[in-house]
Structure 1
């Protein structure tokens, strides 16, 4: 897209820069802060993972090494655990998309399939790559435990996708509850999540807490809808949201039994994030209130063409950055460990270790960027001109994808018996079904 702009005083028009073109093409109705928060959240997640995962010549890869070694870092997770922000912007975006689909006369089935395609298709190259790596590694005699940890770490980001897709499945029903019950729809979900937590913690059975992957995030997802509907306008409402979030965290974390760290640490008996606990909803409220208090200055800042251009670029490949950033870390870590490159693997938390973190993150940024360049096009699927698939097919695809991702995010692809084919193939089958539809002529938008 090209363009020119005339300068004042009769000067010759000049060619618009790419950033100015993107800025000019963005509708005034678009809430740019939503895109910024999504991009900022993914940046925090990526840099956070690259920092808290410790790699040393003697200890190997330690998934939560920094948190396990330094308890003083636990309060910092209230800042760096930003998954609630994803669900905040998800609630806003999904409600906007759903209402747009309804105005166009589109139903649940095409809307669901469009969301699944947008989020799910970038998984295909990641899963195929790790299936190949695992099969070749096992054939070459690599220890099963090593490959299990490698695949588990590389696929950690998929737990978020599993939870997010579950929320998308029930989102239209949640929107109806919001329209009828308002804030009570959020309160009811949090109360139910608290009850699930109580049963899980008292019984010392984390598995009983798994329903909260849906209850907590679906409830907090509604806060994004409240933002869209103007129910969080004004500083006092946003300050109230911050206060409720901090009060809830204080009550739950102070007397206990919930730990301070919002990211799983090996030193904690209970995890706030695995499974998701009700504390995450209160953390989300505090974070949402704070970022929404900054909405006006952020919106003004995003009117700068270069700032908006960078935000758009990050969002265009956001799923690829998110899905591949730990593959880059696992690959680089194993290369350095295989070479016994001790000079490049200083003792975690030492002075030299902290001093070299920027270089470590830069190296991983370059590696991840190369991967994104190679596979990022999958994130922009072509419009599908074929008719709607049956709703049952989309639901079955979503369930297969969520089930496979949940297992792999927890256990990886390799187990005591070798390569666990069932879970990656189940996920890939669900993803493949998103591409298989009878050919006819009616167009289906990819909202």
Structure 2
């Protein structure tokens, strides 16, 4: 018999059925998601761990590339080497990995929470564990930053340079605050995903778009702060679909079309000027452009996951992933102090020896970047190896009170917001450490 040619309308019917199943968890087969009978995956997903490690390494190297120092007649000055550089915008299309990081965070958080529930744990137990894991290493990092700034001031370093160092240190801390909020809301959002997967993510997406429309039409930039919640929560929610296997169930063709559609739509927004083609510029405040980036990255991840899983088992790659995974927050919190120390040492060396530092983006500057990035990677690795005890320390029994856990989240959030708003100084770092200690005490019996 001749093979029967598939009828095009059947693909449309199947897609409609897939979307219906996604919106009705009671009808999901096991291959699509976690039903009451669906077993959770055994062990860690090494492919996802590899993606998370990749994201962390990219962030460290990107910040190392952007961190610069010049020495002029007024003395040393910390500079952002990417500012005004023609090469930076196309680079952001490759190195803007924050959407992917939050998708992976949603994937890992969803599975961790479901495993905890299967063991008899509660949402409060999950929340307490996340507060401990995120805030304990922050106590040491922020405390060390305060001590370092005090030493610089006592050593006669100009006040404006000390303020700049504090500002540079505090810039990446937005991630700690946002990730803490996303993880705190994860149990509730997992429940919403179980009830109405498509409805919950579309609701968050609509909120993010509405905030952006209000921000652009009113000209009130402060409204965009709301998208620090809605954009990243939407991307975390997208990770739930990846964890449930829903994306794979749609078929490679549908996933490819979705990813290409997101890229095409993003290019249209760039061309029309709705969003900046600099994807780092879309970070503060986050715009819906990052949602399209996240969709495209998630589609690609869904397609290459089998390959990544195979790669993740290779000894050398597994060794890197095994080092980074349990030290993720330590690496993130300590890489900026490492870069500031490198910049300060470079400035001192230039002033003592009379060596002229290359101008950022010049040929000489690019020739020195491999050495600069290599030193940054080695020193950050050494700091993570030496200082990860706080992140890896086992948490004591958590409190059974949801109210106390909520207080812990608010105290931790207040500590980071204080540093972001007031800047990192000796006084603000001291206050932030006190708030973090309060947060950690709230989750203990």
How far the C-alpha of 1:143 sits from its partner, in A, is 3.1
TM-score (normalised: structure 1): 0.83
> Which residue in 2 is equivalent to 1:399?
410
Tell me the equivalent position of 2:126: 111
Tell me which residue corresponds to 2:192: 177
Instruction: Tell me, in whole angstroms, the C-alpha distance in 2 between the residues paired with 1:50 and 1:411.
Output: 24
Counterpart contact for 2:263–2:292, Cα < 8 Å: yes
SS in 1 for 2:171: coil
1:430 and 2:436 aligned = yes
Q: Distance in 1 between matches of 2:111 and 2:128?
A: 16
Match of 1:248 in 2: 265
CA deviation after TM superposition for structure 1 residue 436, in Å: 5.8
Larger displacement relative to structure 2 (91-100 or 133-142): 133-142
2: CA distance, partners of 1:363 / 1:378: 24
For residues 73 and 375 of structure 1, the distance between their equivalents in structure 2, rounded to whole angstroms, comes to 32
Equivalent residue, structure 1, for 2:143: 128
Compute the displacement of 1:229 (Å).
Answer: 0.7
Alpha-carbon separation, structure 2, partners of 1:324 and 1:313: 15
Equivalent in 180, 183, 198 of residue 165 of structure 1:
180
Q: Give the drift of 1:209.
A: 0.7
Using the TM superposition, give the Cα deviation of residue 153 of structure 1 relative to its aligned residue in structure 2, in angstroms.
Answer: 1.2
How far 1:342 moved relative to its partner?
A: 5.9
How much has 1:142 moved relative to structure 2?
3.3
> Residues 313 and 387 (structure 1 numbering): CA distance in 2 closer, same or farther, change over 3 Å?
closer
Q: Assess if the C-alpha contact under 8 Å between 1:157 and 1:409 holds in 2.
A: no
Whether the aligned pair in 1 keeps the contact of 2:419 and 2:432 (CA below 8 Å) is: no
Partner residue of 1:305 out of 315, 330, 337: 315
The within-5 A match list for 1:371-386 is 371-384=383-396, 386=397
| Counterparts of 1:289 and 1:115, CA distance in 2 | 27
Q: Contact 2:89/2:277 (CA < 8 Å) preserved in 1?
A: yes
Equivalent of residue 90 in structure 2, options 75, 94, 98: 75
Does the 8 A contact of 1:408 with 1:424 survive in 2? no
The size of the alignment, in residue pairs, is 398
Aligned to 1:37: 51
Moved more, 390-399 or 207-216: 390-399
One of 270, 276, 282 as aligned partner of 2:292 = 282
Is 2:364 the counterpart of 1:352?
yes
SS of corresponding position for 2:298? helix
Q: Over aligned residues, Cα RMSD in angstroms?
A: 2.2
- The offset of 1:135, in angstroms, is 2.5
Query: Are the aligned partners of 1:156 and 1:410 in contact in 2 as well (CA < 8 Å)?
Result: no
CA distance, structure 1, for counterparts of residue 149 and residue 401 of structure 2: 35
| CA gap 1:241/1:116 in 2 versus in 1, 3 angstroms | farther
Partners of 1:153 and 1:296 lie apart in 2 by: 39
Residue 316, structure 1, aligned to residue 330, structure 2: no
The question of whether the paired residues in 2 share the 8 Å contact of 1:50 and 1:361 is answered with yes
Match of residue 186 from structure 1: 201
Match of 1:156, SS state, is helix
Q: CA deviation at 1:208?
A: 1.2
Q: Is the 8 A contact 2:67 2:343 kept in 1?
A: no
* Partner SS, residue 178 of structure 1: helix
1:310–1:197 distance in 2 versus 1, CA, 3 Å: same
**Aligned mates of 1:431, 1:164 — CA distance in 2:** 18
Query: TM (normalized to structure 2)?
Result: 0.83
Measure how far apart 1:130 and its partner are.
Answer: 1.1
Greater helix share, structure number:
2
Quote how far apart the aligned CAs of 1:122 are. 0.9
2:62 maps to what in 1?
Answer: 48
2:341 equivalent to 1:331: yes
Using the TM superposition, give the Cα deviation of residue 111 of structure 1 relative to its aligned residue in structure 2, in angstroms. 1.0
Match of 2:71 in 1: 57
Matched, 1:236 2:253: yes
Distance 2:334 2:443 in 1: 29
Match of 1:18 in 2: none
Residues 293-337 of structure 1, C-alpha deviations (whole Å, 9 max, x = no match) = 211111112232332232111212222111111111111212222
Distance 1:410 1:51, change over 3 A: farther
Moved >4 Å (runs of 4+): 435-439
Aligned mates of 1:179, 1:249 — CA distance in 2? 30
The C-alpha deviation readout for 1:390-444, integer Å capped at 9, x for no partner, is 2222211211212321342455213xxxx443x65245423444246666xxxxx
Unaligned runs of 5+ in 1: 1-26, 265-271, 440-447
Verify: 1:259 aligned to 2:271, yes or no.
Answer: no
Runs of 5+ in structure 2 lacking a partner? 1-40
Deviations 1:94-148 (CA, angstroms, capped at 9, x unpaired): 1111111222222121110001111221111111111112233334443332222
